[in-house]
Amino acid sequence: MFKKILIANRGEIALRVIRTCREMGIATVAVYSTADRDSLHVRFADEAVCIGPPPSKESYLNIPSIISAAEVTGVDAIHPGYGFLSENPQFSQICQDYKIKFIGPPPEIIQLMGDKSTAKETMRKAGVPVIPGSDGLVPDLATARKIASDIGYPVIIKATAGGGGKGMRIIWKEKDLEHHWDTARAEALAAFGNEGMYIEKYIEEPRHIEIQVVGDQYGNVSHLSERDCSIQRRHQKLVEESPSPIVTPELREKMGEAAVRGAKFVKYEGAGTIEFLVDKYGNFYFMEMNTRIQVEHPVTEEIFFYDLIKEQIKVAYGERVSGRHYYPKDRYAMEVRINAEDPFNDFRPCPGKITSFHKPGGHGVRVDTHAYAGYTISPYYDSMIGKLIVSAFSREEVIEKMSRALDEFVIEGIKTTIPFHQKLMKDPQFRKGEFTTRFLETFDFKK
């Protein structure tokens, strides 16, 4: 097994990876910016190396600094966590060049899935259902017009370099196409240096449902069922749960099989997520593939009682994935993201010092966080302070337990999303499991 792993990340995920390494007897190296001197990942790792000043570009995104830290400390592998360099094909390539194992897929796969139009074409070839639309990129407005009228409005145009909603426009009527075509392309060029666009039929009231997969270096892939991530705001997930209230055993079987087929087709290696849109008729369509461990991975860990970080490390080392996973019956898990944001003020970020901090506990309650009383949430990074994950034998029980745990959670000194989650847990539609990705557009935060 690896002797020493460098974690090229910060916050709760750095801590999460350190914990598993400890259990596996693997030494750890933390890297940190000067803003994170007092962070727990620095304290809990066996060694820590400062890699630069607070701005991410000069620290957590600074490849030469991170590779130097890896060389100086003599690690055999780098875990990139999520965000930062986790889906950067150059970083995966440089790790390979330096003979340091990147815990994630090889650069070619990251590159392939990072180009959304190519990823979609690849999945279509693999036999995974995709949303009707253009075959690859659309060269010009005239072609866009033709395709849009063939598939019928509403349509959505997407930047191939986008993802997560950037460079995306919904078009309801032909007369609006020209304007959106020009502005979306300009936005994509400015943001990604790539103005490639593709077109799809717009799916109106979808659910966002993703399948967790793990592939090994020998072409084996197994899936660990779905997570329902439909509760989002401006492409930021707020709540994730499994199983999905709308996924029947038949649909789970079909989506799981499609995800495994897609991942095997590209010889996927590591932990990954295949995101699907599910329409109101139960049709599912490939949307994107994420080639990293995701924020919401604990939901899957809790229902399967399975350490996904450990699995990532094992397959990176060359072990095989276990075959098909036993699907746990009567197990439910839900995660809510606790962000340093004011939910009553448009989720405006609220960095600052946490003056008092008390985590909930008890049966079925897990808190993944790097925060503590006296810790300061930096304005330089993501506003997520932690995740509250609960598990139980039914969705009703999970919601009751989540409400109880949220009531126990005390964070003072800054505003957080806790009051929002408390309201959400009482919402009748949410409790019934009846929501789409547009749920929060009409949610009354003041109620």
Q: Contact between 87 and ligand MV4 (CB under 6 A)?
A: no
Residue of 235, 324, 348, 426 interacting with ligand MV4 (CB under 6 A): 235
Q: Contact between 152 and ligand MV4 (CB under 6 A)?
A: no
Q: Which amino acid is at 223?
A: H
Beta bridge partners of 198: 158
Angle between helices 107-114 and 89-97 (to 10 degrees): 170
HSE, CB side, 13 Å, CA atoms: give it for residue 197: 31
Task: Give residues 330-369 in contact with ligand MV4 (rule: CB under 6 A).
Answer: none
Task: Give residues 45-84 in contact with ligand MV4 (rule: CB under 6 A).
Answer: none
Q: Contact between 146 and ligand MV4 (CB under 6 A)?
A: no
For residues 59 and 51, the answer to whether their CB atoms sit within 8 Å is yes
Q: Contact between 165 and ligand MV4 (CB under 6 A)?
A: yes
Q: Which stretch binds ligand MV4 (CB under 6 A): 34-42, 89-97, 106-114, 160-168?
A: 160-168
- Kindly state the smallest distance separating residue 195's Cβ from ligand MV4, in Å: 18
Between CA 289 and CA 291 the distance in angstroms is 6
Strands (E), 137-206: 155-163, 166-171, 197-201
Q: Contact between 241 and ligand MV4 (CB under 6 A)?
A: no
Our CA dihedral for 437, 438, 440, 443, rounded to 10 degrees, sits at -140
> Which of 107/163 has CB closer to ligand MV4?
163
Structure tokens at 232: 């989002």
SS (H, E, C) 93-116: HHHHHCCCEECCCCHHHHHHHHCH
Q: Which amino acid is at 305?
A: F
- Kindly state the smallest distance separating residue 72's Cβ from ligand MV4, in Å: 38
Contacts with 441 (C-beta within 8 Å, 6 or more apart), sequence order: none
> Which of 179/235 has CB closer to ligand MV4?
235
SS3 386: strand
Q: State yes or no: cis peptide before 106, omega within 30 of 0.
A: no
Angle between helices 11-24 and 308-317 (to 10 degrees): 60
Residue of 288, 302, 311, 368 interacting with ligand MV4 (CB under 6 A): 288
Q: Contact between 120 and ligand MV4 (CB under 6 A)?
A: no
Residue of 208, 292, 387, 421 interacting with ligand MV4 (CB under 6 A): 208
Q: Which stretch binds ligand MV4 (CB under 6 A): 137-145, 197-205, 362-370, 376-384?
A: 197-205
Q: Contact between 156 and ligand MV4 (CB under 6 A)?
A: yes
Between β-strands 197-201 and 284-290, what pairing exists: parallel, antiparallel or unpaired?
unpaired
Residue of 131, 293, 411, 425 interacting with ligand MV4 (CB under 6 A): 131
- Kindly state the smallest distance separating residue 104's Cβ from ligand MV4, in Å: 20
Q: Which stretch binds ligand MV4 (CB under 6 A): 178-186, 203-211, 218-226, 308-316?
A: 203-211
> Which of 75/130 has CB closer to ligand MV4?
130
Contacts with 91 (C-beta within 8 Å, 6 or more apart), sequence order: 63, 80, 85, 102
Catalytically annotated residues: 292
Structure tokens at 1: 């097994």
Binding mask 422-441 for ligand MV4 (x = CB under 6 A): ---------------x----
> Which of 45/131 has CB closer to ligand MV4?
131
> Which of 131/418 has CB closer to ligand MV4?
131
Between CA 47 and CA 29 the distance in angstroms is 5
Between CA 368 and CA 302 the distance in angstroms is 13
Q: Which amino acid is at 87?
A: E
Q: Which stretch binds ligand MV4 (CB under 6 A): 52-60, 198-206, 292-300, 381-389?
A: 198-206
Q: Contact between 232 and ligand MV4 (CB under 6 A)?
A: yes
Phi, psi of 237 (to 5 degrees): -70, 140
Residue of 13, 203, 303, 354 interacting with ligand MV4 (CB under 6 A): 203
Contacts with 401 (C-beta within 8 Å, 6 or more apart), sequence order: 363, 364, 365, 390, 392
Q: Contact between 202 and ligand MV4 (CB under 6 A)?
A: yes
User: Could you tell me how many residues of this chain bind ligand MV4 (CB under 6 A)?
Assistant: 17
User: Which residues contribute to the site for ligand MV4 (CB under 6 A)?
Assistant: 131, 156, 163-165, 200-203, 206, 208, 232, 235, 277, 287-288, 437
